[in-house]
Structure 1
């Protein structure tokens, strides 16, 4: 039987049974397929090193991680402990606010990490496959492990009977079904076992994770005690999401973007906030949606995050200007965090999607992609959606007699970038190029070169901008702001 051959290849049943913990020290890199300049070019988001001790039988781990993040260059360094449903983090784990924290973490954050460990620890995988109650389907050179609440995992064995590949389908917003592969190689003796020293993770054939294990030790004692055994409760949906979208979440975690573990469910304000007459904004914990009034409909700009959050944001979009339905949604660029809810925005039908011309095919694909792991409204009731590409600019008449200009601009961020300018109030909306501050900022602060490129583009396009509104809020350390005068951007840009 293939499992017996696996046991022998790994070192024997007695050696496996005697192993209590696995301690791995590794270095590696993580790429994000939803970031970068183009959808086909995953962006390097971190270079990391870690030492992690895991209990091979019980759901416990102790992780000490250091990473250099790339989106916002930051040095992360923290210890994270998970024990059952309890979790704790101590150190710096957030690139946007690199101050040390010492706090309990949500139970679903622990669950996502445990799932990632289950997919990358061969001893833990072997224990699961050999458990008396394991639900395992056996093939000639593979087995499929089925666990309640998790996507089935197909384990493929090499000619030497060692696991060489795991195959599973996860939910990766907004594309839906994503083919995930975990590849093991460079097996070497470790004590009485034989274990892999190289692990690669690919999503839809794009490599997102590559780590070299510089040292592996068995049976090291570890302190799995959680300093503050307070469970930060999660909803049923959040807990489930951690188990079927694990590697999607890990893209953000290893990038130092902690808020993706927050699995946001609703905007921060109960109703959209007025920016100017005919212009409102839906404010989220991390991402915003602009709403502009037209003669007989509204236009939304950005559809951030993922379905659960976007459903709540969409409800506010629909209430922003009573009697005027949503008919167009603009994606400022293709990055997941700003358009992850676009399928939810178009699910009612009759909504056009407007994006930068280079990403038209990308959006057509994601609007028609299968969603079987986590079916959404569009999967349940498919509707035809027109995707319009903006090569240079697109002008649309607003309800106040002005113009809504959807404008391509060139920046280092993406090749499909758009800004949206509302002429009468002089409002310009952008995402990721600059985060407004409530008070006058320091010169040459903020997003650096991106802010310079934004300010220069406004001048080159001769846009009469009075207020810059952003897809993210900025802060002076005390107060958050979603809008600021153009003068603040000029100061930040050093112009």
Structure 2
């Protein structure tokens, strides 16, 4: 059980940050890190692809990674070997290069490949702005350099209420940078960061706490490193990362961090605003993420979904990764499935109005409960549809 008390202004924030930096190894030690190489493993589960609604999470993959970061160049590369067990056994070996203005994937990383990936030889593609912003956020969350920035930019730090978890109360602060707010809770005994939280949007559950929980601290690379890092969604562990090796100030060849000029010229900048971070993160958990700035379809292939008539009064919503069916009755409409996001559902509702006039969607029928088929149900419920599900 995790609870957060109401935030009140307090001068304690600077002290919490200062103590954390000291506990991590000190300002000089952190500032002296120019490059870092990290190796580890990660295991991931998906709670919204369970066999039964609300059932046990599925184990999706066991993976290994090696990350190098050049702080001066503001660039990183992560080499992945992802061994998937769900939804089908397969292995993807690929690399991600991330810079402030572009992201690049070398190799095949998903079953839902984009047009650019399929046309490239060898396979490669530019990250969508949505994915780039998500990777940048998660790298910041896991980096000790965040605390150095907090120390040197106290205007980015504000007071937050205590966070209580497992019977322990943790003092916390808010840290806001690039339009994103992290709530950081500190271990009252060690002064080390214990939990780094964002408030995210989940297609099924709505607002959720997404936490990185840090433990098993050990000296590595001249500083303290949390060797166990759990990602929790509303208190449920959906990923567990184990850090096996950290080396600092290692040589990093510049060409390992380079994105080809031809790719960079058309690559998307980081997306901004209220983003679907959970969709990006967790579709990668199962290796089915479509790396596009529209979660529903590849924007390099099409600019919109479309209706296809299958028969009198029966329209198929196609053009995306997931489809819906619209069936016209005498006085109302029935829609089967509400995939991906509310944005796709709003498109379907608008298209239905243009095709069938004022007939309302009376029933939304879900073929099953998985997030990719139900993520847009709120749009139908908001306009009065009755939800029909199997037993």
Offset at residue 148 of structure 1 (A): 4.3
Matched, 1:159 2:196: no
Residues 257-297 of structure 1: per-residue CA shift (max 9 Å, x gap): 23165433678666421112222111132010101111111
Q: Is 1:89 equivalent to 2:105 in the alignment?
A: yes
Could you tell me how far 1:208 is from its partner in structure 2?
0.6
Report the secondary structure of 1:230's partner residue: helix
CA distance in 2, matches of 1:8, 1:146: 21
Instruction: Confirm or deny: 8 A CA contact 1:330 1:353 kept in the other structure.
Output: yes
Task: Tell me the CA shift for residue 57 of structure 1.
Answer: 6.9
For the aligned residue pairs, the C-alpha RMSD in angstroms reads 2.4
Could you tell me how far apart the structure 1 residues matched to 2:194 and 2:40 are? Answer: 19
Query: For residues 41-60 of structure 1, what are the structure 2 equivalents within 5 Å?
Result: 41-56=56-71, 59-60=74-75
CA distance in 2, matches of 1:165, 1:56: 24
The equivalent residue for 1:77 is: 93
Q: Report whether the alignment pairs 1:327 with 2:329.
A: no
Match of 1:65 in 2: 80
CA apart distance, 1:181: 1.5
Normalising by structure 1, what TM-score? 0.66
Alignment TM-score, normalising by the size of structure 2:
0.82
Whether the 8 Å contact between 1:105 and 1:231 is mirrored in structure 2 is no
Q: Distance in 1 between matches of 2:96 and 2:347?
A: 31
SS in 1 for 2:273: helix
2:389 aligned partner: 355
C-alpha separation in 2, matches of 1:23 and 1:5: 25
**Is 1:147 aligned to 2:181, yes or no?**
no
Superposition deviation, residue 107 in structure 1: 2.9
Identify which of 209, 213, 238 aligns with 1:208: 238
- Residues 107 and 168 of structure 1: CA distance in aligned 2, closer, same or farther (over 3 Å): closer
Count of paired positions: 351
Cα deviation digits, residues 381-401 of structure 1 (max 9, x gap): xxxxxxxxxxxxxxxxxxxxx
Deviations 1:153-174 (A, max 9, x none): 2333341111111122111113
8 Å CA contact retained: 1:85, 1:231: no
1:136-158 Cα distance to aligned partner (Å, 9 max, x none): 12468322212342234233334
For 1:144-293, list aligned pairs within 5 A. Answer: 144-222=174-252, 223=254, 224-227=257-260, 228-233=263-268, 238-242=271-275, 245-259=276-290, 261-264=292-295, 271-293=306-328
Q: Cα distance 1:151–1:261, how it changes in 2: closer, same or farther (>3 A)?
A: farther
Structure 2: 5+ residue runs without aligned partners? 1-14, 161-169
Matched with 2:3 is: none
Give me the whole-angstrom Cα distance separating, in 2, the residues matched to 1:270 and 1:217.
48
Question: CA deviation digits over 1:219-270, x for unaligned, max 9?
Answer: 2233322123224336x9x53344xx43442111232123165433678666
- SS of 1:161's equivalent in the other structure is coil
- Long gaps (5+) in structure 1: 358-495
Aligned to 2:42: 28
Q: For 1:184 and 1:57, how far apart are their aligned partners in 2?
A: 26
Structure 1 counterpart of 2:10: none
Quick check: which has more Rg, 1 or 2?
A: 1
> 2:131·2:291 contact (CA, 8 Å) conserved in 1?
no
Give 1:441's aligned residue: none
Higher relative contact order (CA 8 A, sep 6+): 2
**Quick one: which of 318, 333, 339 aligns to 2:374?**
339
Query: What's 1:103 paired with?
Result: 125
Deviation, 1:201, is 0.4
Q: For 1:4 and 1:46, how far apart are their aligned partners in 2?
A: 38
Pairwise CA distance, 1:19: 0.8
Report the Cα distance in structure 2 between the residues aligned to 1:111 and 1:268, rounded to whole angstroms: 22
